């Protein structure tokens, strides 16, 4: 049970056989599959258990293990409840029952003398069957699920147990394969997994939407208010303005942290530099501004630094799109004396830094840089383009 819970708690599907007790005190066996449903963090929040009673099947196997000589006595029960085949030590089919013929759509004459490659679907790897044969050739029972192909090229799944019969030297001389069709269960599992993926995709899209709203709408409005407060402080001295500045800064920081927690997983999935390349490709395609990317940094940074770099590049590109009136720009990342230096440059209109009041975008980038222990430099001139330089400690 510890192994079961350890498996499903980690988000993996568990399969196995469980012996349970009925209300009247009798026991029964179930072939069980437990599928975890995962939340947006990849943690299980509920489980679906799919069971098939195999009490008779287990009883037959138990008896079969006691004495090979009782094979004839159990054959009727097996034929009535299972898909049965017997092969020699080389895998050549010596016996199949009617249920095997029914599900494979081959006749007994077409199957006897063949090996199981006749129903191989091509789904499983060579390593899969190599391990199967390694197990049963060592005289051990093999159990697993196999996807097979019928004569008319349709597919079906079987839960399979292969029992080796041993001679006086403990070497297998034939194998008994007992199967139960589980095609519907496998289809149900696939549908559940598809539904789970769709739910996760919807949740991810909602997280992206909320993150954008926090950053682009609410956050930007708060930055505007903070800029207004700063301007008022240059014109008058009042303790209420200081309080408003502190409270607004705290709210902005809280929103930033929440926005980062809800951020798209592109950095986690791709890493910083592939994520930047993807961002630049999309930016160039949508806004027809060619952006050259040069990277001379070969190591990963901590999460906050990578997010800061990614967000500042986003913000700088937004400013280029809105104000630069250019068709070319560049992004360069390099390491200089234990510092990460990021340069976002355009050859557009530029502006007089002394005459133009810094807007929300620049203020936002400066705040992000400070929050990560770095600083932001801005170089621009009318008709000379603009260069944004971010410097942060490497470690």
Strands 339-346, 14-21: pairing kind = unpaired
Question: Looking at the whole model, is its pTM more than 0.85?
Answer: no
Mean pLDDT by 10 residues, the chain (395 residues): 94 94 95 93 92 89 68 68 91 94 95 94 93 95 95 95 93 93 90 81 70 62 72 79 76 64 57 85 86 88 86 88 89 91 91 66 82 89 88 89
Query: Cβ distance 69 to 84 under 8 Å?
Result: no
Instruction: Provide the 8-state DSSP code for 69.
Output: G
Give residue 190's pLDDT: 86
Give residue 116's pLDDT: 92
Give residue 360's pLDDT: 63
Residue 144's Cβ-count burial label (10 Å; 0-12, 13-18, 19+) is middle
Q: What is 311-379 written as a DSSP string? A: HHHHHHHHHIIIII--SEEEEEEEEETTEEEEEEEE-S----TTTSPP-HHHHHHHHHHHHTT-EEEEE
**Three-state secondary structure readout of 92-159:** CEEEECHHHHHHHCCCHHHHCCCCHHHHECCCCCHHHHHHHHHHHHCCCCEEEEEEEECCCCCEEEEE
Give residue 261's pLDDT: 57
Q: How far is CA 275 from the centre of its chain?
A: 17
Give residue 301's pLDDT: 84
């Amino acid at each position: 049970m510890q192994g079961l819970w350890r498996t499903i708690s980690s988000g993996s599907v568990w399969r196995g056989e469980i012996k349970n007790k009925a209300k009247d005190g009798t026991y029964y066996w179930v072939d069980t599959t437990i599928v975890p449903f995962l939340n947006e963090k990849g943690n299980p929040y509920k489980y679906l258990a799919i069971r098939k009673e195999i009490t008779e099947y287990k009883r037959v196997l138990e008896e079969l293990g006691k004495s090979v000589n009782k094979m004839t006595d159990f054959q009727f029960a097996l034929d009535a409840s299972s898909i049965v085949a017997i092969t020699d030590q080389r895998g050549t089919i010596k016996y199949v029952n009617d249920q095997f013929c029914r599900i494979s759509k081959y006749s007994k004459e077409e199957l006897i003398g063949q090996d199981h490659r006749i129903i191989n679907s091509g789904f499983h790897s060579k390593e899969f069957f190599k391990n199967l044969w390694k197990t049963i050739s060592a005289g051990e029972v093999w159990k697993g699920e196999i996807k097979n192909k019928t004569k008319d090229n349709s597919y079906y799944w079987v839960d399979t147990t292969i029992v080796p019969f041993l001679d006086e030297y403990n070497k297998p001389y034939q194998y008994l394969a007992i199967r139960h069709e589980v095609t519907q269960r496998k289809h149900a599992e696939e549908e559940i997994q598809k539904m789970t993926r769709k739910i996760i995709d919807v949740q991810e899209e909602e997280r992206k939407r909320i993150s954008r709203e926090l950053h682009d709408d609410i956050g930007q409005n708060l930055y505007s208010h903070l800029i207004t407060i700063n301007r008022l402080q240059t014109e008058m001295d009042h303790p209420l303005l200081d309080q408003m500045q502190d409270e607004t800064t705290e709210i902005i920081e809280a929103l930033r942290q929440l926005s980062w927690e809800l951020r798209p997983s592109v950095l986690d999935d791709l890493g910083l530099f592939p994520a930047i390349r993807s961002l630049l490709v999309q930016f160039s395609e949508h806004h027809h501004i060619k952006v050259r990317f040069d990277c001379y940094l070969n190591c990963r940074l901590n999460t906050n630094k990578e997010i800061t770099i990614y967000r500042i590049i986003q913000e700088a590109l937004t400013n280029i799109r809105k104000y630069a009136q250019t068709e070319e720009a560049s992004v360069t990342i390099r390491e200089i004396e234990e510092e990460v230096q990021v340069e976002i440059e355009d050859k557009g209109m530029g502006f007089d830094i002394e005459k133009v009041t810094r807007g929300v975008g620049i203020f936002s980038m400066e705040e992000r840089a400070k929050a990560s222990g770095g600083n932001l430099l801005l170089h621009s001139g009318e008709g000379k383009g603009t260069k944004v330089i971010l410097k942060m400690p490497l470690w």
